[in-house]
């Protein structure tokens, strides 16, 4: 099976922070893949910008290395590599000074019919200054701006940043990336819910017992420890990725996939989240920090060693029992957890249905387990629906719990595109559906801020957990107190 490729309109993409980690690991490989598939029009052009003095050729050599490092050699054998590199050029410019900007303006201006896109793959404190200079040099007029999280570190700073950007770019040209929304399975969640008549009638507190959202990583913070220590798992993962997943599970069906129709529904979910503060924080949240342990069969250091510090109260693990206080979800807990250096890399959403109301079977036929829908984001993207069936064979009825199991890799013989491939081209298409609107980001902070504050007030250090495990035992207690268990690996 091959995917359908619809080329986008011609664009000029300017990447600020073009020699940085995000550009190297994600943006350049993603753009190349789209080009390889024929989705990038012939005269589209990509301008790299950073402070370093580089020639066009030196930037192309940097990009060639990025491709070699992140794309299988078999995909780099054709003439497409040179064709892609020929699209690239480079301008040295500083966000805080005027040098280089006239040249950038001239290069972008050379393609007046193109859609100008500015991707700010830089440190967040540069978002404001870059936008201001884009305005000053007349580049913002038709331009679209793309920013990455972290969008602030709390509500106040997020509002200030959004205002700063909003002075130059109207909201309908601001694209706030949450790369989880570009993941195939996340979009499949919408397909599953809204392109099937099967689930929606059951998608409420009459039939759903609880929901679990796990985003577990096996890696530690490694060379990102400096940034991470100022953020922690709540700001790094929960405020954005996990809350976005929760929104897609919990939102009402939008009238269409129109960007605002979807984002209006997500916003309502964020606003309906039950507040967590000093009163209930201890009962419904757990924060942890990993100690040395083992991962993938080898010894790994603890967080403090990676940070190179003897003390830090930053959490590398969070578990939260969240509740959406509305008619559909009243009484249905959403158990959320995420962490670094956990037992394996797995991200999944488990929708646990209620038990059957009455068993017609004898007790000795086996336990009737509840149905579960497991949406696996990574690795091995797919969907499993756990059902009870009769164990095959003669000798009467015995019941067993088995999954209807669809692994996307097995069902569709296509490469699973990286989230950035989809999202960058959505910017060119002018489709904001998979991007966070300003009020969503702010509503998410509004829920997160009091949790962070309650943690600060409690002055308790994060609970230690051994690297390579599923987090502190308190996280297990958090769900087991309610008579439920965390489910791992598609179980
Ligand atoms: C990023 C976080 O947004 O998402 C990282 O800042 C995290 O800390 C990453 O590792 C996880 O993304 P993925 O796509 O690898 O699950």
Q: For residue 21, tell me if it sits in a domain.
A: yes
Residues with Cβ within 8 Å of residue 303, at least 6 apart in sequence: 220, 221, 225, 289, 290, 291, 312, 314, 316, 340, 341
**Mean of pLDDT values over 248-262:** 96
Sign of the CA dihedral running 56, 79, 43, 68: negative
The rounded distance, in Å, linking the Cα atoms of 150 and 176 is 10
Residues 57 and 200 in one domain: no
| Residue 312 alpha carbon to ligand 1 centre in Å | 21
Residues 281 and 411 in one domain: yes
| Alpha helix segments (H runs only) across 71-204 | 80-86, 101-109, 127-136, 155-166, 184-194
The rounded distance, in Å, linking the Cα atoms of 264 and 379 is 30
- Cis before 150? omega within 30: yes
The C-alpha angle with vertex 193 and arms to 187 and 197, in degrees rounded to 5, equals 140
Residues 40 and 142 in one domain: yes
The rounded distance, in Å, linking the Cα atoms of 334 and 447 is 15
Residues 248 and 126 in one domain: no
| Residue 341 alpha carbon to ligand 1 centre in Å | 13
Residues 142 and 238 in one domain: no
Residues 241 and 386 in one domain: yes
Chain-centre distance for alpha carbon 138: 32
Atom of ligand 1 nearest to the CA of 221: 8
Residues 239 and 122 in one domain: no
Percent of the chain with pLDDT over 70: 99
User: Inter-axis angle of helices 28-36 and 56-70, to 10 degrees?
Assistant: 80
Q: Is the CB of 217 under 6 A from ligand 1?
A: yes
Residue 150 pLDDT > 90, yes or no? no
Whole-number average pLDDT of the chain: 94
End position of a domain, from candidates 148, 170, 196: 148
Catalytic residue among 70, 179, 241, 401: 241
What CATH number is attached to the domain comprising 138?
3.40.50.720
- Do 403 and 386 form a contact (C-beta atoms < 8 A)? yes
**Mean of pLDDT values over 435-449:** 98
Q: Dump pLDDT digits (tens) for 289-328.
A: 999 999 888 999 999 999 999 999 999 999 999 999 999 9
Q: Parallel, antiparallel, or unpaired: how do β-strands 285-291 and 144-148 relate? A: unpaired
**Mean of pLDDT values over 343-362:** 95
Mutate to test the pocket of ligand 1, among 216, 237, 315, 418 (most ligand atoms within 8 A of CB): 237
Per DSSP, the three-state class of 326 is coil
Residues 294 and 205 in one domain: yes
Concerning whether 241 is annotated as a catalytic residue, the answer is yes
pTM: 0.95
Residues 265 and 116 in one domain: no
CA distances from 335 to 120, 332, 478 (A): 33, 10, 9
Atom of ligand 1 nearest to the CA of 180: 14
Residue 142 zone, left/alpha/beta (φ > 0; ψ -120 to 50; rest): alpha
At 112 the pLDDT is: 95
Helix (H) or strand (E) holding 245: helix 243-250
21: exposed, middle or buried (C-beta count within 10 Å: 0-12, 13-18, 19+)? exposed
Tokens of residue 11, six digits: 């664009």
CA distances from 480 to 321, 322, 486 (A): 12, 15, 8
| Residue 229 alpha carbon to ligand 1 centre in Å | 15
Per DSSP, the three-state class of 462 is coil
Band the pLDDT of 416: cuts 50, 70, 90.
Answer: confident
Q: For residue 63, tell me if it sits in a domain.
A: yes
Q: Is the CB of 236 under 6 A from ligand 1?
A: yes
End position of a domain, from candidates 125, 148, 171: 148
Residue 383 pLDDT > 60, yes or no? yes
Strands of 11-16's sheet, edge to edge? 88-92, 45-50, 11-16, 115-120, 144-148, 174-177, 435-436
- Do 449 and 154 form a contact (C-beta atoms < 8 A)? yes
Q: Dump pLDDT digits (tens) for 86-97.
A: 999 999 999 999
Domain of residue 374, residue span: 182-416+432-480
| Residue 336 alpha carbon to ligand 1 centre in Å | 16
What CATH number is attached to the domain comprising 302?
3.30.360.10
Start-to-end Cα distance in the chain: 29
Question: How many C-beta neighbours within 10 Å does residue 44 have?
Answer: 23
Q: For residue 176, tell me if it sits in a domain.
A: no
Mutate to test the pocket of ligand 1, among 236, 339, 348 (most ligand atoms within 8 A of CB): 236
Residue 490 pLDDT > 70, yes or no? no
Q: For residue 5, tell me if it sits in a domain.
A: no
The rounded distance, in Å, linking the Cα atoms of 333 and 1 is 39
89: exposed, middle or buried (C-beta count within 10 Å: 0-12, 13-18, 19+)? middle
At 276 the pLDDT is: 98
Q: For residue 424, tell me if it sits in a domain.
A: no
Q: Parallel, antiparallel, or unpaired: how do β-strands 463-466 and 285-291 relate? A: parallel
Q: For residue 35, tell me if it sits in a domain.
A: yes
Q: For residue 252, tell me if it sits in a domain.
A: yes
Mutate to test the pocket of ligand 1, among 29, 179, 347 (most ligand atoms within 8 A of CB): 179
Residues 204 and 113 in one domain: no
Lowest mean pLDDT among 52-66, 173-187, 330-344: 173-187
User: Tokens 């991470």, residue?
Assistant: 228
| Residue 180 alpha carbon to ligand 1 centre in Å | 9
Return the higher-pLDDT residue of 248 and 186: 248
The closest residue, in CA terms, to atom 8 on ligand 1 is 236
Q: For residue 85, tell me if it sits in a domain.
A: yes
User: Inter-axis angle of helices 259-272 and 243-250, to 10 degrees?
Assistant: 100
- Do 55 and 158 form a contact (C-beta atoms < 8 A)? no
At 1 the pLDDT is: 44
Atom of ligand 1 nearest to the CA of 378: 16
What are the DSSP E strand ranges found in 306-398? 317-323, 333-339, 346-353, 372-378, 382-390
Q: How many domains does the chain have?
A: 2
End position of a domain, from candidates 148, 170, 193: 148
| Residue 318 alpha carbon to ligand 1 centre in Å | 15
Residues 338 and 463 in one domain: yes
Residues 112 and 211 in one domain: no
């Amino acid at each position: 099976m091959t995917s359908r490729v619809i080329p986008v309109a011609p664009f000029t993409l300017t990447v600020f922070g073009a020699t940085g980690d995000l550009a190297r690991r994600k943006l350049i490989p993603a753009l190349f893949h789209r080009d390889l598939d024929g989705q990038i029009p012939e005269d589209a052009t990509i301008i790299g910008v950073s402070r370093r003095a580089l020639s066009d050729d030196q930037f192309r050599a940097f990009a060639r290395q990025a491709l070699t490092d992140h794309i299988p050699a078999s995909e780099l054998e054709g003439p497409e590599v040179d064709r892609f590199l020929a699209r690239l050029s480079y301008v040295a410019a500083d966000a805080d000074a005027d040098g280089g900007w006239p040249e950038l303006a001239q290069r972008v201006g050379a393609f007046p019919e193109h859609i100008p896109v500015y991707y700010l793959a830089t440190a967040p404190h540069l978002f404001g200054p870059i936008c201001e200079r884009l305005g000053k040099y007349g580049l913002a007029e038709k331009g679209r701006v793309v920013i990455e999280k972290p969008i602030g570190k709390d509500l106040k700073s997020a509002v200030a940043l959004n205002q700063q950007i909003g002075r130059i770019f109207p909201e309908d040209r601001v694209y706030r990336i949450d790369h989880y929304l570009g993941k195939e399975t996340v979009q499949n969640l919408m397909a599953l819910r809204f392109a099937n008549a099967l689930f929606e009638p059951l998608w409420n507190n009459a039939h759903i017992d609880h929901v679990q959202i796990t985003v577990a990583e096996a890696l530690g913070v490694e060379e990102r420890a400096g940034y991470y220590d100022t953020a922690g798992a709540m700001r790094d993962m929960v405020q954005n990725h996990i809350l976005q997943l929760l929104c897609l599970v919990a939102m009402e069906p939008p009238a269409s996939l129109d960007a605002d129709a979807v984002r209006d529904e997500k916003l309502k979910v964020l606003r309906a989240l039950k507040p967590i503060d000093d009163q209930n924080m201890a009962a419904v949240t757990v924060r942890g920090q990993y100690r040395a342990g083992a991962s993938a069969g080898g010894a790994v250091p603890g967080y403090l060693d990676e940070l190179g510090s003897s003390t830090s109260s930053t959490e590398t693990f969070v578990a939260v029992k969240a509740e959406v206080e509305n008619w559909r979800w009243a009484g249905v807990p959403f158990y959320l957890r995420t962490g670094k250096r956990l037992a394996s890399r797995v991200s999944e959403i488990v929708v646990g249905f209620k038990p059957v109301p009455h068993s017609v079977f004898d007790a000795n036929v086996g336990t009737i387990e509840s149905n579960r829908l497991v949406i696996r984001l990574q690795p091995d993207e797919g969907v499993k629906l756990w059902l009870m069936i009769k164990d095959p064979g003669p000798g009467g009825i015995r019941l067993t719990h088995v999954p209807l199991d669809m692994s996307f890799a097995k069902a569709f013989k296509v490469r699973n595109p990286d989230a950035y491939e989809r999202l960058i081209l959505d910017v060119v298409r002018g489709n904001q559906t998979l991007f966070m609107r300003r009020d969503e980001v702010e509503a998410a902070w509004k829920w997160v801020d009091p949790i962070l504050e309650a943690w600060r007030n409690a002055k308790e250090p994060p609970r230690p957990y051994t690297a390579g495990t599923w987090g502190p035992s308190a996280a297990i207690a958090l769900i087991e107190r309610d008579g439920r268990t965390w489910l791992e690996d598609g179980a």
